[in-house]
Structure 1
Amino acid sequence: MTNGTPETADQTSSRPSTGGRERPNVLLVLVDDLGYSDLGCYGGEIATPNVDRLAESGARFDEFHVQPRCSPTRASLLTGHTNHRLGFDVLTGDDELRRNHVFLPELLGENGYRTYLSGKWHLGSTANFGASDVPRDPRVRGFDHAYRFTGYAESPWDPDTRLLSHTPDTYRLLSDAVEERTYERASDPGEYEPGETFYQTDAITDYALDFLEHDRNRDEAEGRRPFFMYLAYGAPHFPLAAPQSLVDEYVSEYEAGWDAVRSERLRRMIERGIVPSDVVLPPRSDVPAREGWEWESHRIRAWDSLSEERQTDLVRRMAVFAAMVEMVDRNVGRVLDELEEHDRLENTLVLFMSDNGACYEWHEFGHSADDGPRSGDALRNMGTPASDRGLKYGAGWANVGSTPYRLYKHFGHEGGIRSPLVVHWEGLDDDLREGTVGGVGCSRDVTPTILDLLDVDLPDTWTAENGETYAVDGFDETTESLRDLLVDGDSPGDRDVAWEHEGNVAYRSGSWKLVGKNFEGTDGKPAHEWELYDLSSDPTESDDLADARPDRVRELAGRWTAWADRNDVPVPDAVTVPSGSDDGVE
């Protein structure tokens, strides 16, 4: 399924290339609910040697931002637009996206690339873009071949079981080029055999490797064409699950508790130059109240205040999460090894990132205040095929994942939107390979950056798979290409970026950031009241300057409102532009 006629192999090889090189392959790796500090190369204690080696010889960004939640980030990555502009405000269920944009794989396919997806879709129905007997068919949106699951929180151990998916159609191979794999379903706690037992992260990688083999065979038969692969892991999103033997290895790592682990992460981050040496941890973040649930908003409890039974339960939960992250890294290593073995890694632009901040949902004990503590087999079997399938690690450990920032997934504070970004490619400017890369980036920058690198223009109109032609919206003025940064080392300088999710709003201009949250915190700040921070001196958003700088609040609130109006963003009634004069403040 393609739109138009792709270029031939000869045309592809003869096109002008980036920096005198052949056009690169593109490998976009997106993981789910990984916190900013969870990777080893960002200060975490979890073993992630494969992503770390990408960072060592590539670029590690310290101010890259995504959207506060899953579907919005996925939409922004593949289109360059905010999710609101595409027609959905929170998550995609059965939604059909508006016909006002083009997906990145559609454009790359039109320009000679072979395109593949392996992993999580979560971008709604494709029915209004093309006819298919599959309601969520990535091939309709430019992917030549796909192995996908449609929603979120699928069982990592059983492809036939779903939790929160919007459809019974979950895992599916959509390709006539590779054979469908057969896996054993594990049932015993310790049962796991790589390549034989179904485990979601492994299966996503298995099919990615199958697609890469198919691509190599096509190259040998027809001549080289570059590939685009979107490798979208469902981990470490809940339900937390990992091989029991690996979980056991991590238990001792977390027995000191979340306060001690958070402090140690900050020490390593400072040591490695990821954050400034004068950064101090803010207080533990809040756990927001939820309507109809049994708790009020409160600050995460101190680890030492918890009972021994509760601590044991929470240690095991975090050990499962850590093992799940390591399993992602091992599988990323399998893909990198395949590319390296066939001399394809250096001319592959690899981007590795998370879709949002660490996931606090919904209490520091796990899903709710009455989640656990577990003991006996229920404790020992956490995250295994024999356990229940809804395991979460809770807000206390999510706060560790956000180190040193405030809050987490869902929110516009830095803990919810700042993501690790590792970029590896032979065409990177050499200066980017030393330390961390400054300069603000955003998930909406990815599509225009790749198009700019490949000298591909965004069209004015597009014809969908179903033959209907529609106008294509241009990128918003807050979206930028990072091509000059990657290739020439030129900093993008001051820029504006905006966010909204569930009434959590934020606007950044240069180092100034205006942000509001949708609940009243323990600091007494009412819901939707503006907070103002200067991130150049206060990256952890600890010193609210809103009262001292009403002029800046008005300016940035006005910019946020204008952005919201341009992009069809719902504006909560309580989010307003304050009135008044500048009161003589510069």
Structure 2
Amino acid sequence: MRWHNLLVFIFTGLIVSQVLAKPTPPNIVFIIADDLGWADVAFHGGNVPTPNLDQLASEGLELAQHYVAPVCSPTRAGLMTGRCWSRFGITTPTNELALPIETVTLPQALKSRGYSTFIAGKWHLGSLPKWGPNHFGFDYSYGSLAGGISPWNHRYKKGPYSVTWHRNHELIDETGHVTDLLTNKAVRWIQQQKSPFFAYLPFTAVHLPIKEPAEWLEKVPEVITGEVARHYAACVMHLDDSVGRIIQALEEKGVRDNTLLIFTSDNGGSTAENNDLKYPDDNCPNGRLTGNNYPLRGQKGDVYEGGIRVPTLVSWPGRVKPGRVETPVQITDWMPTFCALSDYNCEYDLKWDGTDLTELLFTHTPLPDRVIYTAGPQWRASSLRVGNWKLVTHGKGESRRIELFNISNDPIESKNLAATEPEKVHEMLTKLGQAAVTDNDSVVQ
């Protein structure tokens, strides 16, 4: 009887200790598309098959109001720091050093908690090796130091940053399509890792210029016509397949159930000319991109919903609650969230603008109403979201144009309520001024 009681005591203690123990920090895979529009995906009504993303949407969690910056470098700065990009003076794509070298970045924080850190794709926060990801917490870095590149020659725009394809600190030349190269590298890296790891995969798809392999063009539905439109569709399908390959790599390694995976885009879709002459010739087709943000207003570069609200999926089997939530969140929220999950605490205030999303992800508990501030390119336009209200300003001073929308009632921003809601406009303008006070407080000196 004595031995029986002792065994029961030990067994009970083990169970209690397991319950009270902190969960193992998850692996984190963050996939970000480039210029992918709201309706470029099938789960938002797009005409291009995206079976892997559709499955993520059906089995995982969709963040239906996930906000980013209107253009690429600012979104990336927000992800890496948990702060609004305007704090660093970054509101447009930049090839110069974007973040002070001493900045505590997301990969640095995770690395201090034992994570291996990896990036394959587009950095665009400093387009020279001396400003590259390895200097900001990434153990392994591969892809484009600069912005979107031609898919086959891997060149950025003509000029000092055109040669940009790299591996860690070295510029290199490789053959192959950019999406395949990035995916192959990510799959191999994941296969070699021990947990925990952070894999950041900022693809260049579907940024111009695009030119897809024949095997993907052959898979495009016949209903889609026009050379650029078919290449664009093939690019989306190719990207979707890459997401599937990443998931398969996690499953084959046996770590899918302890991996938090996020898929999003850096800004809304674009309808710019595909074969941009600023890029070295890669024999890409002529014509406008077919980025689709329907039914949202605006596109890449705008602070309207079509420019800053992007398709976003979250998956962590058994932990993240499946479904769809409408609570507004922002790209700056991911660093506080990942730091909370990895039990990272800094000895000083990192001045985050973002907030921890774990309760929202795990239980769908809504966040309290808060300010979500968006500084547009060169501050020509800004927006502020608080609850259901959204303020949009264009310009400054006496010539400033103001718009006010109720996003709950009018998600396509068709009815400007500024004239009929003067008190709300005044309240929102005050909050906008408060949100902008710390702009430029961390500019590279």
2:231 is aligned with what amino acid?
Answer: V
Once the two structures are superposed, the pairs formed by residues 273-284 of structure 1 within 5 Å of their partners are none
1:383-436, CA deviations, whole angstroms, 9 ceiling, x for partnerless residues?
xx9963475524xx33xx111111111111000000111000025343xx13x2
Give the aligned partner of residue 116 of structure 2. Answer: 114
> CA separation of 1:545/1:125 partners in 2, compared to 1, >3 Å: closer, same or farther?
same
Tell me the percent identity. 31
Is the 8 Å Cα contact of residues 17 and 23 (structure 1) preserved in structure 2?
no
Q: Does residue 352 in structure 1 map to residue 263 in structure 2?
A: yes
Q: For the Cα contact (< 8 Å) 1:93–1:166, is it kept in 2? A: no
Counterpart among 173, 181, 205 of residue 203 in structure 1: 181
1:226 counterpart = 2:196: yes
1:497 to partner: Cα distance:
0.5
Counterpart in 1 of 2:146?
151
Mapped to 1, the partners of 2:41 and 2:400 lie a distance apart of: 32
- Work out whether 1:162 is the aligned partner of 2:132: no
Question: C-alpha separation between the residues in 1 aligned to 2:202 and 2:338?
Answer: 18
Q: Which residue of 2 aligns with 1:554?
A: 426
**SS of equivalent residue, structure 1 residue 450:** helix
SS at match of 1:152: coil
State which of 448, 451, 473 in structure 1 corresponds to 2:336.
448
Q: Summarize the Cα distance change of 1:444–1:96 in structure 2 as closer, same or farther, 3 Å threshold.
A: closer
Cα shift at 1:22: 1.7
Do the aligned partners of 2:325 and 2:364 also contact (CA within 8 Å) in 1? no
1:17 and 1:387 map into 2 onto residues whose CA distance is 57
Deviates more, 1:451-460 or 1:64-73: 451-460
Q: Which amino acid aligns with 2:374?
A: W
Deviates more, 1:40-49 or 1:165-174: 165-174
Deviation at 1:86, TM superposition (A): 2.1
Alignment partner for residue 419 of structure 1, among 305, 310, 329? 310
> Could you say which residue in structure 2 is the equivalent of 1:532?
404
Displacement after TM superposition at 1:357 (Å): 0.4
Contact 1:147 1:174 in 2 (8 A): yes
- Scaled by the length of structure 1, the TM-score of the pair is 0.67
Match of 1:26 in 2: 28
Q: Give 1:410's match in structure 2, choosing from 301, 304, 324.
A: 301
1:448/1:481 contact within 8 Å kept: yes
Corresponding letter in the other structure for 2:437: D
The amino acid across from 2:419 in the alignment is D
Matched residue SS, 1:420: coil
Q: 1:496 — aligned with what?
A: 371
Deviation track 1:87-142 (CA, whole Å, cap 9, x = no partner) reads: 4332221235235631101010011111111111101168xxxxxxx323311111
Could you tell me how far apart the structure 2 residues matched to 1:447 and 1:507 are?
A: 21
- CA displacement 1:442-468 (0-9 Å, x = unmatched): 0011101111222212341xxxxxxxx
Letter in 2 for 1:412: V
Asked if 1 retains the 8 angstrom alpha-carbon contact of 2:209 and 2:275, the reply is: no
Counterpart AA for 2:85: N
The correspondence for 1:247, drawn from 214, 217, 224, is 217
Whole-angstrom CA distance in 2 between matches of 1:563 and 1:488: 29
Work out whether 1:393 is the aligned partner of 2:281. no
SS in 1 for 2:230: helix
CA displacement at 1:514 relative to structure 2: 0.6
Q: Distance in 1 between matches of 2:103 and 2:148?
A: 28
Q: How many residues in Structure 1 have an aligned counterpart in Structure 2? A: 420
Amino acid at match of 1:170: T
SS in 2 for 1:52: helix
Distance 1:405 1:251, change over 3 A: same
Query: In structure 2, what residue type is equivalent to 1:515?
Result: V
CA drift at 1:200? 0.2
SS of 1:505's equivalent in the other structure is strand
Q: Provide the rounded CA distance (Å) in 2 between the counterparts of 1:53 and 1:166.
A: 42
Q: CA RMSD in A?
A: 2.9
Secondary structure of 1:499's partner? strand
**Aligned equivalents of 1:17 and 1:388: distance in 2?**
59
Three-state SS of the structure 2 residue aligned to 1:81 is coil
Look up the SS of the partner of 2:37 in the other structure.
coil
One-letter identity of the residue aligned with 2:140: H
In the alignment, is the contact (CA less than 8 A) between 1:120 and 1:148 conserved in 2? yes
1:151-201 CA distance string (max 9 Å, x none): 123110123x4335751441111289xxx99854xxxxxxxxxxxxx0000
- Rounded Cα–Cα distance in structure 2 between residues aligned with 1:564 and 1:352: 29
Structure 1 contact 152–165 (Cα < 8 Å) conserved: no
Return closer, same or farther for 1:36/1:527 CA change in 2, 3 Å cut-off: farther
2-structure distance, mates of 1:484, 1:507: 24
8 Å CA contact 2:165, 2:172 repeated in 1: no
Aligned to 1:285: none
Match in the other structure for 2:9:
none
State how far apart, in whole Å, the 1-side matches of 2:341 and 2:186 are: 24
Q: How far apart in 1 are the matches of 2:236 and 2:331?
A: 21
Task: Tell me, yes or no, if the aligned pair for 1:361 and 1:367 is still in contact at 8 Å.
Answer: no
Match status 1:484 vs 2:353: no
Q: CA deviation at 1:247?
A: 2.6
Distance 1:490 1:46, change over 3 A: same
Change (3 A) 1:168 1:110: same
Give the match for residue 137 of structure 1: 132
Residue 28 of structure 1 aligns to a residue whose secondary structure is: strand
Residues 68, 412 of structure 1: 8 Å contact kept: yes
- 1:321 pairs with 214, 232, 235, which one? 232
Q: SS state of the match for residue 21, structure 1? A: coil
Tell me the equivalent position of 1:123. Answer: 125
Alpha-carbon distance in structure 2 between the residues aligned to 1:175 and 1:136: 9
Q: Is the 8 A contact 1:152 1:164 kept in 2?
A: no
Compared with structure 1, are the counterparts of its residues 386 and 507 closer, same or farther at alpha carbon in structure 2 (3 Å cutoff)?
closer
Mapped contact 1:238–1:390 kept (Cα < 8 A): no
**Partner amino acid, structure 2, of 1:406:** R
Q: How does 1:369-388 map to 2 (within 5 A)?
A: 388=283
SS of alignment partner, residue 209 of structure 1:
helix
Give, in whole Å, the separation in 2 of the partners of 1:359 and 1:18.
49
After alignment, is 315-324 or 111-120 more displaced? 315-324
Per the alignment, do residues 45 and 125 of structure 1 end up closer, same or farther by CA in structure 2, a change over 3 Å counting? Answer: closer
Q: Does 495-504 or 29-38 show the bigger shift? A: 495-504
Structure 1 residue 254, shift from structure 2 partner = 3.1
Which position in structure 1 is the counterpart of 2:208?
238
Counterparts of 2:399 and 2:36, CA distance in 1: 26
User: Judging changes above 3 Å, is the alpha-carbon distance between structure 1 residues 552 and 153 closer, same or farther for their aligned structure 2 residues?
Assistant: same
Q: CA deviation at 1:43?
A: 1.9
Give the structure 2 partner of residue 543 of structure 1. Answer: 415
From 42, 45, 50, the counterpart of 1:48: 50
**Contact 2:263–2:313 at 8 Å: present in 1 too?**
yes
